Amino acid sequence: MSPPISRRAITFVEVGPRDGLQNEKTLIGTADKLELVRRSIAAGAKRIEVTSFVNPKRVPQMADADEVCAGLPDVEGVSYIGLVLNARGAERAIATGRLHELGAVCVSTDGFAIANQGQTSDESVVAAKAILAMAKAAGVKGQATIGAAFGCPFEGEVSQDRVVAMAMSLAQANPIEIALADTIGVADPAHVSRLVRRVVEAIGPIPVRVHFHNTRGTGIANVWAAIEAGATVVDAALGGLGGCPFAPGAAGNVSSEDVVYMLHRAGVETAMDLPALIEANHWLAEVMGRKLPGMVAQAPAFPKPVQE
């Protein structure tokens, strides 16, 4: 039997520098991206998705991937993750010599996979497994994400059997973990609970990571449902930045501060420092020139800090 949730700990992954910023129209300078990485580390993040190696014409915000990697500070115990979609991206990521993990992505439906990566869903699984093999050969950890695992902007509902089968296929390539991503923010907690449970059963002992967008307000509830169902790694982005081009609307990733607040109040360890995250939120809001979607950083501290 698994321990009660109140005595569990999860691993927190900060995805703000990549997924948070990726679709921002204003180009953020490399120095600010590196400052975001530094502040995430100062707030306790041990795994940070720092950039992606994609076509800069399609994703201009990530055009400085090499410069970002060159500027990453060496910090004991901190792993940097680079997202890659194909072999060329994996070669570029490995060549930086600065990344501890490659993140491969495949997509649950043909409609989304063709729009996003110009390949079918099956082809995206083959490509992800090839990236995992490249990472292994280069002595870098490899993990894989199943995109649109809870719903597709083109095809609508996604079959849970399909997602479980993809996870089992990816598991053959021995990733350090497999993530289920609600890329367009349509999941609900009951769906999350069922699918996470099934994938945990199918691929254990490989850990399951979850990635939620708060497009329809269900993001934080989905995080809770996923942890109860056995997910042990959670993605979040500082301030809740990170819209998806296929999901118009303001909301982005679940916010790091909101996730950490919820989990700490509920007795789940994250090793993150909430006041440092809130301070980082206020810094990032200034860089972006607007209030960020995350809610905890806009509210008074609770419980009230004790005055010395």
CB closer to Zn ion, 116 vs 270: 116
Complete DSSP assignment for 47-107: EEEEEEE--TTT-GGGTTHHHHHHH----TT-EEEEEESSHHHHHHHHHHS--SEEEEEEE
What SS3 state is found at 244? strand
- Minimum Å distance from CB 280 to Zn ion? 19
In the bound state with Zn ion, the residue whose beta carbon lies nearer, of 231 and 276, is 231
Q: How many Å apart are CA 154 and CA 116, to the nearest integer?
A: 11
Q: Where are the alpha helices (DSSP H) in the chain?
A: 30-42, 65-71, 87-96, 110-117, 121-137, 160-171, 189-203, 219-228, 256-265, 274-288
Which tokens go with 168?
Answer: 């089992």
Contact 102, 144 (CB under 8 A): no
Q: Which residue is nearest to Zn ion (CB)?
A: 19
Q: Which is nearer to Zn ion, 246 or 283 (CB)?
A: 246
Half-sphere exposure of 44 (CA within 13 A, CB side): 17
Q: How many CB atoms lie within 10 A of CB 92?
A: 17
Say if residue 121 is exposed, middle or buried (CB neighbours under 10 Å; 0-12, 13-18, 19+). Answer: buried
CB of 182 to Zn ion, least distance (A): 8
Residue closer to Zn ion (CB basis): 19 or 64: 19
Q: Cβ(281)–Cβ(260) under 8 Å?
A: no
CB of 124 to Zn ion, least distance (A): 16
* Residue 198: CB minimum distance to Zn ion, A: 21
Distance of closest approach, residue 112 Cβ to Zn ion, in angstroms: 13
Our answer to whether residue 106 is catalytic in this structure is no
CB 269 within 8 A of CB 10: yes
Question: CB 213 → Zn ion: shortest distance, Å?
Answer: 6
Q: Pick between residue 119 and residue 215 the one whose CB is nearest to Zn ion.
A: 215
Q: Which two tokens stand for residue 231?
A: 């997910």
Nearer to Zn ion, 128 or 276 (CB): 128
b/e code 237-258 from CB counts within 10 Å (16+ = b): bbbbbbbbeebeeebbbbbbbb
Tell me which residues touch Zn ion (CB under 5 A).
19
Catalytic machinery residues: 244
